[in-house]
Amino acid sequence: MYVYGPVPSRRLGRSLGVSPIPSKTCSYSCVYCQLGRTNHLQIKRESFFSKHDIFAETIKYCQTTIPDYITFAGDGEPTLCRDLGWLIRHIKTSLRIPTAVITNSSLLYRKDIRQDLEKADVVIPSIDAGDARLYNIINRPHSGIDFHTMVNGLIDFSQEFSGKLWLEIMLVKGLNDSPEEINKIAKIIDKIKPNRVYLLTPTRPPAESWVTPPYSGSLLKAQELLKEVIPIVEYETGEIELDNFNNATQSIIEIGSRHPMRREQIEQIEKHFKEQGTIDQLIKEGKLIEQNYNGTIYLLPNKLSPHFQIKEISKSTDQINNQGEN
C-alpha cells in the first residue's frame, strides 16, 4: 500500500499520507528519525513504483474520506520519487484537495525538484543546523550533498515557490539547542523568509536511543531567539481513519510503519475492528515491539525498532558519508 490514514497531524489536521518511495529510502540518516536508520542512502531519483498505481490508490481512498491535506511523506525522502510532480498535478486536478510535501530540503538545489513542487499547496522543508559540522552530525547526509548546497537550494526554492512554505526545526538536547546554534539557524531563516516556522522536539522513538528532547528552558530560549516560531512538542490527538483497511493487523502494520503509534492508539484500532488479542499476538510473533520513550509506550513494527534493522548500521558519520550513490 502507498496510501495510509488519514492520520492526525499537528500541522496539517487530517492528513492522508502518500509514500511514493520504498521503506527507509532517504538522502539523510537523521539521528532523530522516527522511522529508524536509513537502509538505502541515495540521491538518485527513481520511479520506484507505478505512478498510475499510486494515483489510483489515492483516488480510491478519497472516495470514502475527504482529508484536510494529501501529504507526500511516508517512508523516507519523497522528492527522490521522479514522478512526484506528475502525482501532485494529477491529484490536484482530479480531487481538488490541498497537497502538502514534507521534505528534508536536501535536494532542493535541483531545478527539476523545485519545478515538481511548484504546484503543491504547502511544502514543509526542514533545517536542523546552522553549519556544516552540526549538519553532518544530526542529518548524516549522503556524500553527494553538502551543507551550503542544501541551504542555497532551500533559499532558491523559497524565492520561487508561490505556495505556503512552513519551515521545521527539530531540536535535540546537547546538539542544536544552545543559543549559539539557534542563532546560526536564525540567520539562515532570515534569508528563507518562510510563512511559518515550527519548532519540534523528538516525541516518538528516534533512530538513535541517545536522542532526547531539550530541557524546557532551552526550548523557551529557542522560542525567544527565533521569535514568531510555533512550538510543536505535544503528542498528536484525533482519530485515525480505518475504513480502507481490512483488519486490525493490516492497519497496525501499514500505518505504524510510516506513522509510529502510541500503545493507546493501537488499542483503539484493535477495539475498532473488535479483534481483541491482536496486539498480544503481534508482539508474540515478533511483528510488534514495545518501546518506552520518555515515559510513553510505543508499539513499533519490528523494522522500526532500533534493535532490528534490515541492514545493521553502527557507522560513524564519515563512514555514512563515504557511501556511494545507490
The pLDDT assigned to 322 comes to 39
The pLDDT assigned to 198 comes to 96
Spans of the chain below 70 pLDDT: 233, 235-237, 303-326
Q: Which triple of cell numbers denotes residue 251?
A: 492497519
How deeply is 228 buried, as exposed, middle or buried, from its count of CB atoms within 10 A (0-12, 13-18, 19+)? exposed
Q: How many CB atoms lie within 10 A of CB 286?
A: 10
Q: Is 97 helix (H, G, I), strand (E, B) or coil?
A: coil
Please tell me the distance from the alpha carbon of residue 205 to that of residue 137, in angstroms, as a whole number.
Answer: 18
pLDDT tens digit sequence for 136-190: 999 999 999 999 999 999 999 999 999 999 999 999 999 999 999 999 999 999 9
Q: Is 128 helix (H, G, I), strand (E, B) or coil?
A: coil
Please tell me the distance from the alpha carbon of residue 16 to that of residue 18, in angstroms, as a whole number.
Answer: 7
Taking CA atoms, 221 is separated from 32, 165, 231, in Å, by 21, 24, 12
Non-local (6+) Cβ contacts of 217 within 8 A are: none
The pLDDT assigned to 171 comes to 96
Residues for the chain: how many in total?
326
Going along the chain from its start, the domains and CATH numbers come out as: 3-244 (3.20.20.70), 261-308 (no CATH)
Phi/psi at 9 (5° precision): -120, 140
CA-nearest of 231, 94, 86 to 171 is: 231
Q: Which triple of cell numbers denotes residue 149?
A: 548546497
- The model carries a pTM of 0.84
Phi/psi at 69 (5° precision): -145, 150
